[in-house]
């Protein structure tokens, strides 16, 4: 069975509903995935917007998601550390946790990138996207992507 990633909140390549943006409640959408590759010890997720005017804007960094997880629920708390051991790093907004779409103009693309890792990471909650990418080097068993759009 293939490792697959999706969101029940919006289709791949389709608009992200406003509830998940600065125009709504700014809560994270539910995400789901299937059985990961053998040897998976944790998951990590990065959400970013490559269409931001000042370069890629990072909206969410979360890692050490337990290997037993098959998704993230809608409205993950923005706490740096979650009850299941997951840790949330720093976004471009300089906050921990999910920071939804809020483009200044036009239609932007938001990429949710899921990584199955063969380890758990000893990163602090002050880690950002680049720290996470560096720590994951050599530990990625699989990575998948789901993309949504949002227009201001």
Instruction: Give the pLDDT score at 88.
Output: 98
> What percentage of the chain reaches a pLDDT higher than 90?
97
Query: Model-level pTM?
Result: 0.97
For 11-24, write each residue's pLDDT tens digit. 999 999 999 999 99
| C-beta of residue 117 within 8 angstroms of C-beta of residue 139 | yes
| C-beta of residue 61 within 8 angstroms of C-beta of residue 89 | yes
Residue with the two structure tokens 């758990």: 120
**CATH class, range 5-151:** alpha beta
Specify the length of the chain in residues: 152
As given in the structure block, the two tokens for residue 28 are 């994270």
Q: Stretch 82-87: mean pLDDT, rounded? A: 97
Residue 6 contacts by C-beta under 8 Å, 6 or more apart in sequence?
A: 12, 31, 32, 33, 146
CB atoms within 10 A of CB 105: 8
Report the distance separating Cα 108 and Cα 112, nearest Å: 13
Answer with the residue of higher pLDDT: 147 or 54.
Answer: 147
Report the distance separating Cα 35 and Cα 1, nearest Å: 8
Q: Is the pLDDT of residue 107 over 80?
A: yes
Q: Stretch 121-140: mean pLDDT, rounded? A: 98
């Amino acid at each position: 069975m293939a490792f697959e990633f999706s969101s029940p909140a919006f289709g791949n390549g389709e608009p992200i509903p406003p509830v998940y943006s600065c125009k709504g409640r700014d809560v994270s959408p539910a995400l789901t995935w299937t059985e990961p590759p053998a040897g998976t010890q944790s998951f990590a997720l990065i959400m970013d917007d490559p269409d931001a005017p000042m370069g890629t804007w990072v909206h969410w960094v979360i890692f050490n998601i337990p290997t037993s997880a098959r998704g993230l629920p809608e409205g993950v708390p923005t706490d740096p550390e979650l009850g299941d051991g997951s840790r949330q790093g720093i976004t471009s907004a300089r906050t921990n946790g999910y920071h939804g779409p809020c483009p200044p103009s036009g239609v932007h693309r938001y990429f949710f990138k899921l990584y199955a890792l063969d380890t758990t990471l000893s990163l602090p909650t002050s880690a950002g996207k680049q720290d996470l990418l560096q720590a994951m080097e050599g530990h990625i068993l699989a990575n998948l992507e789901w993309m949504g759009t949002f227009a201001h």
